[in-house]
Amino acid sequence: MKSLLICFLILCATPSARAIGGGAVVGDGGHGVECGSGWYELLDFYEARRLYGVEPDFDGYRYSPTFNWSAIETARKRVAEIVPVSSDLKAAFDSAIAIDFSNQTSWGNRVDPTTDSGGMVVPLERGCRLVQLARREKRKHGYAYSFNSDAWDQLDPFDAAALILHEGLHMYFRTEKNTLAIRQFVMFASAPENFRRRNAAAFKTLVETRRAVAPSAFSRVGRAGP
């Protein structure tokens, strides 16, 4: 799957849409959860399911044998239905789509851990462990990305697409000390329509303040709405 994604991204990237540098960025990691099966789940989705009762739904498609780039475009469209997509937010989406896998990335069976998974709001289940899936580091002319190749090959393609979006969103939530706000953003953008409709106000606050909101601000699936 990795080789297919690299080829696709190189073809789609354009010079004007390369990852944009500038500014100090706090929080450079993307994390996953592995529960003994060797199969990895993006932490954003693990929390979505355990905390909010949300099973990611990209227009009815969850699992796919190949990387599904349309998931990021679907997320962008869903966000635009709730809040105006500012130039900064557009740049974050564009930076995800335009990651240059030929020059900006490295792959290995381990990625040095970051501390920005802080703000975890659900404990890991017994037998589960947190794994560093990706790391982004500031460079003189942009950013460099490191990916855990072993974990990547065991990610569902939609988790992989959401991980790429997660990395791009660091540009928008650049002052946050951990990735809770990014995880909430990815959770909302990947949630079914009924959840997004009921929780539009909380999402607007998240986007407008660029800060994580209290998890209780989101109405959990299966719970009566406010």
Q: Which of 9-18, 86-95, 200-209 has the lowest mean pLDDT?
A: 9-18
Beta bridge partners of 107: 147
Structure tokens at 33: 């959860």
Q: What average pLDDT score do residues 8-28 get?
A: 29
In-domain check, residue 20? no
In-domain check, residue 22? no
- Residues 14-51: b if buried by 16+ CB within 10 A, e if exposed: eeeebbbeeeebebbbbbbbbeeeeebbbbbbbbbbeb
Band (pLDDT 50/70/90 cuts) for residue 20 is: very low
What is the reported pLDDT for 200?
97
CA distance 181 to 154: 25
In-domain check, residue 25? no
Structure tokens at 169: 């969103």
In-domain check, residue 219? no
In-domain check, residue 19? no
In-domain check, residue 52? yes
What is the reported pLDDT for 18?
24
Q: Which of 18-32, 36-50, 130-144, 176-190 has the lowest mean pLDDT?
A: 18-32
Using the predicted structure, report yes or no on whether residue 195 has a pLDDT greater than 90. Answer: yes
CA distance 102 to 27: 24
* pTM, two decimal places: 0.79
Higher-scoring residue by pLDDT: 40, 178: 40
Q: Percentage of residues in the chain with pLDDT exceeding 70?
A: 74
How many other C-beta atoms are found inside a 10 Å radius of the C-beta of residue 105? 17
In-domain check, residue 225? no
In-domain check, residue 220? no
What is the reported pLDDT for 118?
59
What's the chain's average pLDDT? 78
Beta bridge partners of 29: 135
Using the predicted structure, report yes or no on whether residue 119 has a pLDDT greater than 80. Answer: no
> Using one digit for the tens of pLDDT, what is the confidence trace for 34-89?
998 888 999 999 999 999 999 888 765 555 555 566 788 889 999 999 999 999 99
Query: How many structural domains comprise the chain?
Result: 1
Give the structural domain span for 62. 2-14+31-212
